[in-house]
Structure formats: structure tokens, C-alpha cells
Structure 1
Amino acid sequence: MARKELFIERFVYDLLESPLKKFVALLVMFIILVSSVWLVTSELVKVKLLPKPLADNFSIYVDLPEGKSVYETKEVTECILNHLKNEEIITDMSVFYGESAPVDFSAMLKGRLFEQGENIANILVNLKREDERDETSIDAVHRLRTIINTNCTMYDNKIKMVESPAGPPSIAALVLEVTGGEGYDDRLDLSEKLLVLFEATPRLVDFDILRDEPYQKYGITLNAHKIMQSGLQIEQVTKILYLAFKGMDIAYDNNVNAQNQVSIHLTLNQDSKGMYKASKLMLEQSLASLMLLNAQGMTIPVIEVVEVAIEQSNPRIVSKNLSPMIAVVAETDMESQIYSLLYIQNKILNDFSDSYDVEKVGLLDLSLRNKQSKATYLLHWEGEQKVSMDTVTDLGMAMGVAIVFIFFMMVIYYKNFALAGAIVLASFISVAGVIYAHLIYDMFTPHTFYMTGTSLIGFIALIGINSRNSLLIIDFAQQLMDEKGMDARKAIAVAIQTRAKPILLTVLAIIFASMLLATDPVFGGLGIALIGGTLAAYAVSLLIVPIMIYRPLKKEYLSKGESDV
């Protein structure tokens, strides 16, 4: 072992003695640092700040256009159930027609809690425990989404597979809010053009425009003149219509064993009031079968005293910050949101330039101005991507504060700005090891291994670890210079030789501890960041730190020599 230590000492001494070797070492480190940044920009190492957690369940939202009946909704839902019931990894399923599934935070934020009607259904799917199946929930949803959308797309429906959110729940992974324009129809026209871009974007699924689908409805108007001529009352006609189609409480059952009165609800049965086809003629036939008894004892068909008219539905207008808005949403399928967002943004800048004047607003938002109508629109990105950008901002600020804090602590400790700057700069270089570790680990995983928000936490931790390594070397080198009168070059070489083994033991301890995190879907980025970063920090301590601290320590040695004289 002594020969190895002497080798390290001799290697560092020769490195500091030769300007050419120092230049080559710094050049190699600069190339490694630049190439690590290139790995991220070229998407060889992909970034996804909020990784999806594994779960034992997922939900399916079934949406048919407004005006579709419960029979059509059941047809779509039964098709989905028939394809899922033979899946071995599924234990049970629950179906909720016309109402929300059991409430969770994600459903509340997506607004699913308030969605009701014959045209919607929710399916809650429970999977086997993670240790009882070979397929993860993310892989299962990815595989089943293709099967269901291929076989159960009918009646212009929308089927959305909803997984556990990666972070705080949002309406969707990508949400593009469209505001401005000359009215609802104007915004809707632009939103439909944007939806085409969403559909053409690779690895985007569950596209939708959050608006009410236009549909025909039938209004029943009471003819007061005919009602009076028929010897009926307006209240009588109103009640029979509600009684027939909506139902109403007509009496109460006073049961001695019941704590409260039990209401008796009367309505027509489903076969009598249901219509298998939406048409004015069928509604008129249903109204003709309803009879009312007037004061003279004569029966009057309801159709004789009412009028049926075909009407167009009124769209729901959603506003945000007092501005009417339409949102185009989509989910990512095993892909990071940022790449889909940038792809769509570039397509808008290129494809919309013929009809609109497109300008960037802030970091990601866009402003569009129609060249013909002069109408102005604002395209604002929201959703899970907004949470990701907030995470980057917060972690970036935390890293900046950590670097500044460490720098001033070193300045106070060593009373030397150059030495403190060398420590911080050497610590920052170890970041390249994090990126290369993600690249290597991604080669051995079946799916893309993303650099996540937890990886950024590893960045911050590594700055402290590498600063500690540099501090140990500098303190021991200064001690050798003060007590044994060694020059700076010799003191640094001996200090690194002596401290190499303790630093290596610390590196190995961090690596073995981080290996437990490496396979975790959420904290795997932190584990890989610590493994790659500590290895890089060790290499930096042996090769780069000596070069960085040599000149400040040499000046310190010379200044002390002059003061002694």
C-alpha cells in the first residue's frame, strides 16, 4: 500500500511541477464538463423533474359527447371491462356511471368530482401488489392504453387513463391555456388547431379540449292559453312533467322503526321515459302518452298544451384571472413533459407564422396576433410542467445559496478569496459525474432513466462533499508548510497522499448507501447522483484541487517566508 501512496504523491508532485500536465488536466476536465452539458442539451440524458411513483391502482375516465345516453356510455364502458377482466394483474374493478369515483385529491383538482351526467363514467382499477406482479403500474397503463383506445373508441368518445400524480396533482401533464380573441368561437377555432399539433406530437396521449361539446336539446314550452282552454292549471302540467321525467317526492312513510321520515319518490320507469333515439318525434310521442284529468273529468294529452322546440346548447365559459379561457390538455406516455412542450412550441413558431404574428412572452408562453382579424391571443403553459419549472427554480435558488454560503464560509475560514474560489470551482466541476452516471445507468435499464428533481438535490449535496474533501487537503497542506517548512508543491502532494485513503473510504460508504436508492422510481435520481458525483469528486480531489489551490498556497508560503525574514 505504501508504494501506491508514494505513487500518488509523486504523480501529484509531477503534475504541479509541469505546466503542460496542468494544462492538459484542466483541458480534459473542461472537455468533460462541456460534454456533460451537451449530453443534456442533445437529449442523450433526458430530464424529467417529477418522476411518476409506482402504484397499485389507476383510474379510467370515460367521456362521451354531451347529449349521449347512458346506454351508449354503458356500451363503451362494457367494452373496456371486457378487455380488462382477463388481465392477470388486475384484482377488481369498480364502475361509476354518471358520477365521480371515490374522491381523491387528484380527482378534485381535475374537476372530476363535479362531473355528472349520462355521458360520463369512471372506472377504478385495482392491481395486484407490486411484489406479486412482474409489470409495473406505469408499464401496465402504457400497454392497456393502446388496447383500450384501439378497441373501444366509439361515439366520438374520450378515454383517459389516470395514474397517480408525480407531484402535486394538476389538471394534466400539459395544459395550454388560450385566452384573448374576439369571442368563444374565435378561441375555440384556435384551440382546435392547437389540438392537431398535440395529436401529432410523439408520446402524447389523452388529448382533449376542456369545453362543452355542442349538441341539440329539446325545450318544452307550456302554452298558457291552451292550458286554460283545456281546463287545466299551469302548476298541474309542470308537476306532471317533473313527475314523469325527473321524479318527485309525493308522500312520506312514517315508520316507527325509522329515525327519519322515509320519502316516497314517484317517477316513470326507465322503459316508459327512456328514448333510444334522440328525436323530436319520439319526445312528442312520449308526451302524447301522458294524460291529465281536467276539471270536467276529461283526459287531455300533455302534447296538446305544450310545444317542443329544438335548441342548441350553450357552451360553458371558463374564466381565469377574469379572462375567458379554453384549455387544450394532454398527458405524456413515458416521456418528459418538457420535450413535448418544446416540440409544440417550435411547431407553433414555424407552422402558425403564415396566419399569425408569433412572439415569445417570458420563458415559455407565446403571443399570437391574427394577421387578418388583428385579434390577439395569449398561449400560457400550465399543468404538471408548471410544477416542474417551479421545482427547477426552487432547487436552482437553493444550489446558488449553497454555493454562495460555502464561498463566504471559506473566505472567513481561510481569509483568502482565491483559495475559497478555487474550492467552490473544484466542487462545481464534480457535477459532470452526476450527468455521466445517469448516462451509464440509462444504458442498463429497460426504460429511459431521467435526471429528476431528486438528482438536483444530489447536486447540492455534492457541493458540500467536495468542499469537505478540498478542506481536508488544504488544512493538512498548510499544517505541513507551517510545522515542517515544506514548500507548497511538496505539501500538497504529501497531503493528497495522506488523505486519499480516508476520502476513498468516505466515497465508498456513500456509494454503498446510495445503491439502496438507485432502483427507487422516485429517489433513484438522488442515488445515482450521489454515486456518480462522489466518484467524480474523488477524481477532482486528486487531479483538479491540487492545481486550483497550488497558486494561492504558494503565495501564502512566500508571504510567510518574507514576513519571517
Structure 2
Amino acid sequence: MYEAIVTPFLNRRWMAWGLVTVMVGLLVGSAILPATGAVPLKMLPFDNKNEFQVVVDLPEGAPLEATEAALNDLSEYAATAPEVTEVLSFAGTSSPIDFNGLVRHYYLRREPNRGDLRINLLPKEKRKQQSHEIVLRLRNGFEEIGRKHGARLKIVEVPPGPPVLSTLVAEVYPRADQNYAELRADARHLRRLFETEKAVVDIDDTFEAERDRFIFRIDREKASLNGISAEDIASTLRLALAGWTPGEGSAQTSRAGAAQVPQEINPLYILLHLSPGERSSLADLSRLGVKTPNGKIVPIGELGQFVKEPAEQTIYHKNLRRVAYVFGETAGRPPAEAVLNLQSRLKVEPPPNGAEVSWIGEGEWKITLDVFRDLGLAFGGAVLAIYILLVWQTGSYTMPLVRMISIPLTIIGIMPGFWLLNVFGSGPIGGHPNPVYFTATAMIGMIALAGIADRNAILLIDFIQTVLERGGSLKEALIESGAVRFRPILLTAGAAMLGAWPITLDPVFSGLAWSLIFGLLVSTAFTLLLVPVVYWILYANVKGHGVPVKELDTTTAELLQGTVQS
């Protein structure tokens, strides 16, 4: 069978060149697949964890009760999922900090308008869907509840690799002469682009809601006449609004409001504050009394007045420059594709006030570029090392290239293989795509495959040259090498593919396994056909047929010379 397949290419040179042209076309087409988005790229895939997190942000100024109400509705919805075992709610504070929360600065979340849900899932072996698929399934319900409460949500999954501030992070740097209002307008323009970008979710920025604050202006003359200081008034307001521990602020009385149990390390502090009903309006605060030195109680309203002013906004800096951040996540779309499309849209719709937008700071874009660049260099270095070793072994600069034909053939298997996985092996969940990504682990598999696949061509060519050295003709050597090596090559390739199969069940390293399987499958099949044909094209009319003549005995050299002349 092998002879029947290969012989027509050896007898007709145009068929041989046609095969080479087809292989080159397939290689170019395979390389185009990731560029067109048919094979989605991502630095690392989503891991299958036993938990995920929902970060809730209500508008600044929202009371703690509103945050708790939103968290309760979200908790009730999350509990309807059969895979959910526990829902932990944290209102006005952050949940316990992990590495991802440390990078995302969740420890700074201490305001009443901020909340956090920790959702624990069944163990992996007791559920059918992976944690990312569960998140996609629940996302629409979470977002609907968030809209009802006017809250911004971020559904956070524990990353398998180094965490980032957010998957998509755009840094907006204003010009030196640009004011805060213009910076805000430019950042909001970019945020609108995020909101209209396909499959970009969990959009947020670092601007706070515009709100008012009340400042108590002290009538210093009245306060002085009553013997009341500004500190006395501030302490009274603080006691009413934030609470006060007895003895706080003085080294002599600092332990007055603490109860210490002998067997406990940390003391239990007593916190005094007014009930919400007694401090919910300016009128309530104005009726608060301040004690004068002679024991008289004077209402705060007689010592000054509350003045409404716009609340100050937080101004962020990075590398000594003012900056505003716009964040986003992707749901079923490669982050690189979203960033490239947003960059193209920014060229058409630039920020109205001329702010500079950078994508290489805190998001996944820069890490993805660096990882694939470094892995690409590693792949090139591996190929170069293989070439140098083969040049040293063969003493030729051309023969190693023939032996390395199997390496580009792996790409013809890997990229169309991932495309097929996305066509037949994945489907939308909750209306969101759930693609199979070509990740850094898949790239590592492609690098490892360079040496494995190259071995097949080396075995074929060594056998070809062995047959030539014992006096066989070139055509006989080409056909016999493939026929004899056919079964060992298939068995070793099949063993390697079967060994990689269990790794496909791992969500992080499955890309490595699929690269090995698809690359070995296609490169092995094409190597058995392409290597003899390319060898025939290059060495059919060359003295020795690629075997150094000095290594042949006189009889063999004469036979080969006769074959060339005939």
C-alpha cells in the first residue's frame, strides 16, 4: 500500500512539486488561523477551582444596608445552583485576602458601599461542569440582580497563573495641561467603547460617583464663649457617626474601653455610637449636645452650621503621572482580540481631550505578549539547536533541512486541531461562548514536539542512506525506508499520543496534550509521504544521492553513478 501511494510522486516530478506546494499552502493556512481568530489565543486557560468570588460595588455614598440587601439577593440566587455548597457574604469589608485579592488591592475595600461574596462549590469529582462553566451559566442572573440594585459586579475566578489587576486594563494618562474633568471625560469615552465591545463584561473605572458632603463650619465666637473647642465638637460628631472607644486618643486611658480575658490574646473593645435612627439627618446631628466646662449641654446647631460641598475625588498616580484606569473582563472571547479591536476603534474615535491610552501596564495584554514572544524565541532556539546538531552529525548544510521537515508539519496538525476543537468540541453556556484556547501550555507542547516529530524524519533518512550504502537504487531506498519504518513510526507516535490523552482532562495543561496529539498525528502521516518526495526532488540527480561518496566503497559508488546516468 505504501509503495502504491508514494510511487506516483516519484515517477512524476510535477506531482512531487504539487505535493510540496500543497504542504506549504496548508502551513500558511494553519498560521493564518490564529491571526483571524479562528484559533483563540490566551495566556493561560481557566482553571477548575472549588470557589469563585463576586465583588459588589454600589455607588459611593450608598448605605451599608443597601449593600447588604444586594448581597442577600445575590446569595439567594447563587444558592439555587446545585453545585454551590456555601455562600459567604461580607458587607462593608473585603473577604479574607488571597494572592489574587492582594494583587487587586481588595484589602482597601472598607467602605459601606462595597461588598463581597465567596461562593464555594462541590469538589471537582462530584460535579459535571468546571468552575468556569458554572460562572458562565450564572453570570446573566448575577448581572440582572446587580442592575436591579444599581451595583457594579465583578465575577472573579482564581487564576491558574500570575494574577493581574484585571484581564483588560486601559491606563488613561492626561496631558500636563489637562484638568480632572477632562481626564474624566476621556476615561468615560473609553469606558463607552468597552461597554459597546462584544463579550467585554464587568466594566469599571477608578472614578467615584459625584456626590456631596457636609462640613460643619464652627462659629468660633460662640464656641469660645461657651468654652468649647473644635476637638470637642469633632469628637461628638465622630461618636455619633463612626463610634468611639472610651479612652481612645490618650495614652493614659487607652485601655479604658477594652475588656481583657486572661486566656485570650486580643482584647475586646467597647464601641459606643448612636443608633441609626438618632443620626440619620442633619437635624438629628444638630440636636447633639456638647458639654461645656461648667457642665452645661449646648446643642451643636448653636455652635455652627452644616455646609454642603462637592466631595473630593481620588486622584491616582503612576510613575509620577496622573492616571485613570478602565477595567474589563472577557466572557468567551480572547483578551488579545478584544484589546486589538479596542485599539483600532480608538484610532477612529480618539479621546476627545487628547489623553494617552496605554494597554501594557496592569492587565493581561502585556504578559500575554511577553509570554508568547519568549516561547516563540524558545521554539526558534530549539529548532536552531536541532539544526546545529544535525549539521555536526551529517557534515552538510542541506541534509539537516530535509531531516527537519517534520517540525513545520506539526503546525499543520496543531492549529487546525484546535480549530476543530472549537467547531465541534465547545458550545455556548448561558449565551456566552466557551472556546478552547491555544495557550502558553499549548505552545510548550509545540516546542516539545519539535524534537519528537523530527525523530521520524531522521529515522527515514538514515534508513534511506543505509539502503544506498549497501548498493540499492534511490527509488528502492525511498520506498523500502517508508515500508520498513512505517509500523515502528506509527507505534511510537501512537504510544506518545495515548500517553498524552489523560492530560487532556486537566483544564490547565490540556493544551499541551492536544498539541502533542494533533501535532504527532498529522506530522507522522505527512512525514512518511513528504520526506521521501522531498529527498527525491533534491537528490535524484546528485552524485551519491545525499550520501558522501568518500564513505562508499568502489562498487557502491559505481552502482550509484550508474543509477544517476540512467
CA contact (8 A) 2:315 2:323 kept: yes
Question: Does residue 470 of the first structure (1) align with residue 457 of the second (2)?
Answer: yes
Offset of residue 554 of structure 1: 5.9
Question: Partner amino acid for 1:526?
Answer: L
Question: Does residue 403 of the first structure (1) align with residue 356 of the second (2)?
Answer: no
Offset of residue 52 of structure 1: 0.5
CA contact (8 A) 2:279 2:285 kept: no
Matched residue, 2:275: 270
Within 5 Å, give how 1:477-496 maps onto structure 2: 477-482=464-469, 484-496=470-482
Offset of residue 263 of structure 1: 6.4
Within 5 Å, give how 1:398-437 maps onto structure 2: 398-437=378-417
Kindly indicate which of the two structures has a greater share of residues assigned to strand. Answer: 1
| CA deviation profile, 1:310-352 (whole Å, cap 9, x unmatched) | 12222212122222111111111122112222222222223x1
- For 2:64 and 2:426, how far apart are their aligned partners in 1? 42
Q: Which residue of 245, 248, 266 corresponds with 1:248?
A: 245
Matched residue, 2:422: 442
Offset of residue 253 of structure 1: 5.8
Q: Secondary structure at the match of 2:398?
A: helix
CA contact (8 A) 2:218 2:305 kept: yes
Matched residue, 1:70: 64
Question: Does residue 197 of the first structure (1) align with residue 220 of the second (2)?
Answer: no
- For 2:25 and 2:228, how far apart are their aligned partners in 1? 92
Question: Partner amino acid for 1:294?
Answer: T
- For 1:480 and 1:172, how far apart are their aligned partners in 2? 61
Q: Secondary structure at the match of 1:249?
A: coil
Matched residue, 1:213: 209
- Residues 256, 557 of structure 1: CA spacing in aligned structure 2 closer, same or farther, 3 A cutoff? closer
- For 1:515 and 1:442, how far apart are their aligned partners in 2? 18
Matched residue, 2:131: 137
Q: Secondary structure at the match of 2:172?
A: strand
Q: Secondary structure at the match of 1:175?
A: strand
Question: Partner amino acid for 2:474?
Answer: A
| CA deviation profile, 1:435-460 (whole Å, cap 9, x unmatched) | 12222333332332222222212221
Matched residue, 1:521: 507
Aligned length: 532
Question: Partner amino acid for 2:492?
Answer: T
- For 2:140 and 2:96, how far apart are their aligned partners in 1? 26
Q: Which residue of 332, 335, 342 corresponds with 2:333?
A: 335
Matched residue, 1:530: 516
Question: Does residue 43 of the first structure (1) align with residue 37 of the second (2)?
Answer: yes
CA contact (8 A) 1:79 1:152 kept: no
Identity among equivalent positions (%) equals 26
Q: CA RMSD in A?
A: 2.5
CA contact (8 A) 1:92 1:126 kept: yes
- Residues 417, 310 of structure 1: CA spacing in aligned structure 2 closer, same or farther, 3 A cutoff? same
Question: Does residue 115 of the first structure (1) align with residue 113 of the second (2)?
Answer: no
Question: Partner amino acid for 2:184?
Answer: L
- For 1:288 and 1:173, how far apart are their aligned partners in 2? 48
Question: Partner amino acid for 1:99?
Answer: T
Offset of residue 31 of structure 1: 2.5
- For 1:249 and 1:499, how far apart are their aligned partners in 2? 88
Offset of residue 9 of structure 1: 4.0
Offset of residue 194 of structure 1: 1.2
| CA deviation profile, 1:159-178 (whole Å, cap 9, x unmatched) | 11111224211111111111
CA contact (8 A) 2:215 2:308 kept: yes
| CA deviation profile, 1:17-60 (whole Å, cap 9, x unmatched) | 32022112112212222222333333333223321011111111
| CA deviation profile, 1:502-552 (whole Å, cap 9, x unmatched) | 111111101211221223322222222111111112122211111333425
Q: Which residue of 379, 393, 409 corresponds with 2:358?
A: 379
Q: Which residue of 507, 514, 535 corresponds with 1:549?
A: 535
Offset of residue 66 of structure 1: 1.4
Q: Secondary structure at the match of 2:542?
A: helix
- For 1:312 and 1:134, how far apart are their aligned partners in 2? 52
Q: Secondary structure at the match of 2:327?
A: strand
Matched residue, 2:183: 187
- For 1:27 and 1:233, how far apart are their aligned partners in 2? 91
Offset of residue 396 of structure 1: 0.4
Question: Does residue 455 of the first structure (1) align with residue 442 of the second (2)?
Answer: yes
Offset of residue 14 of structure 1: 4.4
- Residues 541, 231 of structure 1: CA spacing in aligned structure 2 closer, same or farther, 3 A cutoff? closer
Q: Secondary structure at the match of 2:313?
A: coil
| CA deviation profile, 1:224-257 (whole Å, cap 9, x unmatched) | 3211112334443333233333313332567683
Question: Partner amino acid for 1:424?
Answer: M
Question: Does residue 223 of the first structure (1) align with residue 202 of the second (2)?
Answer: no
Gapped runs of 5+ residues in structure 1? 1-6, 276-281, 357-367
- For 1:253 and 1:193, how far apart are their aligned partners in 2? 51
Q: Which residue of 16, 32, 40 corresponds with 2:10?
A: 16
- For 1:390 and 1:452, how far apart are their aligned partners in 2? 13
Q: Secondary structure at the match of 2:322?
A: strand
TM-score for the superposition, normalised by structure 2? 0.88
- For 2:129 and 2:410, how far apart are their aligned partners in 1? 36
- For 1:528 and 1:392, how far apart are their aligned partners in 2? 18
Question: Partner amino acid for 2:274?
Answer: N
Matched residue, 2:549: 560
